[in-house]
Structure 1
Amino acid sequence: MSTSAGVPQKTIYVTLSGLPLSFRLDWPFRAASSGADFHVLHTEIALENSGGLRALVAVNLSVTLREVLPSLQAKDAEAPVINALRKDVDHKQIEFVKSGKLIPLPFSSRHYDFKRSQWVFGKATDENIARLIERKIYWQTRLVGGDVWLDDPTEALYVQSTTEHLAEIAAGLTKLGLFTTSRGYATALPALMDQTERFESEMASARLELEQKHAFERG
């Protein structure tokens, strides 16, 4: 979460498929009560603009990945955890319901390149990054309000890029009159916020695909 005048502010993180999410993470990671050799972080993921759908997740940190993290606190683990969960949503591994049981999900070495010592969540094209930026600004503005932080390292990590490159793409989008930028923040303009039908449609399509996948698995 970002802060405004010292007050925590909800941050919207959009998936590449177009689903706006928010996260509530119960820091820090804790040793598994079962005695297993992994640590657990309880998390609630809200599917925004859905009438209260959510997913309750137990993020299970593997021993191997634990050695990579400087600490089990939010300052060192929040960005990769959020992006690992976003990727699980991208891959339709998480189902959103009104109420449900805690789902265990592995936070393991599949998200880390040990040879290059870097997190790996899949490199996005510039076109996909541009679409992500538009969605981010739209949903954050609509659901929370205020200016939108574009220099968030979590976003750059999600698309396997840099905040500088995201800023370059955002600068190109400003020429379309969708938003303005200043000091790493974006201010939405009517040309973007008037595209409600587009963003709602993208979300509905992604949500339908997700729900159909889980309905099929349930038989």
Structure 2
Amino acid sequence: MFTKKAITLALACGLGSLSAGALAHTTSIGFVPGSSFGDVTFWTGSYSHGGTPVNEGTLTLTGVDVTYNQTLAFNITPTSTKPTGLVDGTNNFYWGSTFGSSLDKTLTSDPLISGGVVWWQGVTFSGLVAGTYDFTCGATCGTTAQWASWGSGTGQLTLTAQDIGGGTPVPEPGTLGLLALGLVGVAAARRHRAAS
């Protein structure tokens, strides 16, 4: 009798975890440099549920070795075209495709998970510097089947100077001093030639 109840309970738990996994559909997260210095745009990807989705959810970035903590709502209109600059396995990752009793899935570079990503939504963070950040999107990626996270939606990433948006950085004071010293040297050399 105990065995029959244990098997029934195990099957119920197993089916329950599979149905919970089937409702969560954000399967990808990636990032690209923004258009201004210190900007990075983050994208989450989802497979299709029919129709055109709307923005949903938030993403949190917290500095590990830098001072930064910000939560922003996704606000870049969803697009059905993979955003320029996302490279699978480099700056774009997918939740792992192994099913089990845990919904905490690892990040992988497999773009074909669940048939691939069809929709992308984004958000741009400003004021970032090179360093290591924790990102959190799991319970906050979205609440509907379109954007709810398939995996834990948390992890850590390191942004390099190349990952952070373009723009023109303000030169450091030491750089300006060297420039001034160089200009003084050029002027002195010209003056010396003119006097000879």
When normalised by structure 2's length, the TM-score is 0.27
Q: Which has the higher contact order (CA 8 A, sep 6+)?
A: 2
The higher radius of gyration belongs to 2
Determine which structure has the larger strand proportion and give its number. Answer: 2
